[in-house]
Amino acid sequence: MARKESKLAPGWWDFTTLEDNLLDDVSKLSEKDLLQLSRPGFKVVFYDTLEDFYLAETLEYITAWKQSTDSAPVGVCGPIGPTEQLPLVARLVNELGLNLSNSHFWGMDEWVVDGKEMDASHPLSFEKADREMCFDKIDAKLRMPDNNLHFPKADTRPYIESWDSGIRCAVMQGGQGDVKHWAFNDPVRRKGKYQDAPPLPEEFLSLSTRIVDLHPVTCMQNARTSAGGVVTGIPTQAITVGPVQTWKAEKVSIWQAGVHDNPFGQRLTAFMIGKKIMDSAVPMSLLACHPNVQFNYYRGGLGSCGTEMH
């Protein structure tokens, strides 16, 4: 039987093409139900306060970088969205006097404009945000060398090679977009060989860092969160870290404060990962086969899927 057409963007795959009974079941999940989705390889954690939530996220950077040595360098791959942890990372590095000379950082993604990565001087640049919110705030004597900051570019080769250069990625952090992506691993267009079915999980998981077309929902969301709703200013392409690099990370840690995805989305991906239901129309669901995934929730941001008129 043919898959449903998307309710959000005809011509694209996304979670609305899943069976209604699965979507209905997800909408009924309670906080307790989410906790019970934990299994070997997948852990669900709740935090009572935003302070505790963002401190825990920050400590993943610190814990990873403290393991780094000249002979065994360690890095973190981090997101823009959330960003609240970034100034906290810089503050803790400074307060602890943590020397980052042999530590590494990978940016997850960057916008693409006219075939090239967005210039780091642009207000929307992810590299600009990482530098200004975190790395420029670290004391000069403690900062990692610029060569240890790996930001994806339109020429993806140096970035891809950095993942195979002997640096251990202790953790890849991420948020979750409305379209259920991590980084910009968005669902694909519904055309050509993918007219009737989205890519098989193994096909999607074979993708490396690359330039992608962004799902319209992703463009709308980023306009809402970063540009006051001016969607015409949001690029329609980006460079994203790929599943290939994601599987080189020892741990994938997803942080959901209720600011980006909604109550339904926060439940859907946890359910699919916990139950090992993999479908590339919901890219985050493919993390079900990663050996170490943790979903982190702010309890006050989980919300409800019940009807509430505004």
Domain boundaries, the chain: 36-300
Range 218-228 average pLDDT: 92
Which is it for strands 252-256 and 293-298: parallel, antiparallel or unpaired?
Answer: parallel
Query: Tokens at residue 262, please?
Result: 């909604």
Q: pLDDT digits over 82-106, tens only?
A: 999 999 999 999 999 999 999 999 9
Indicate whether 291 pLDDT > 70: yes
**What is the CATH code of the structural domain delimited by 36-300?**
3.40.50.1360
Range 17-40 average pLDDT: 97
User: In whole angstroms, what is the distance from residue 29 CA to residue 305 CA?
Assistant: 9
Burial 257-274 (b: 16+ CB within 10 A, else e): bbebbebbbbbbbbbbbb
The per-residue pLDDT for 259 is 87
Amino acid at 96: L
The per-residue pLDDT for 16 is 98
Give the pLDDT band (50/70/90) at residue 258.
confident
The pTM score is: 0.95
The per-residue pLDDT for 1 is 62
Indicate whether 307 pLDDT > 80: yes
Q: Which residues contact 275 (CB under 8 A, 6 or more apart)?
A: 37, 288
Answer yes or no: are the C-beta atoms of 82 and 173 closer than 8 Å.
Answer: no
Give the pLDDT band (50/70/90) at residue 170.
very high
Q: What is the mean pLDDT of the chain?
A: 96
Q: Which residues contact 297 (CB under 8 A, 6 or more apart)?
A: 34, 44, 45, 46, 47, 256, 257, 266
- The rounded percent of the chain whose pLDDT value lies above 90 is 94
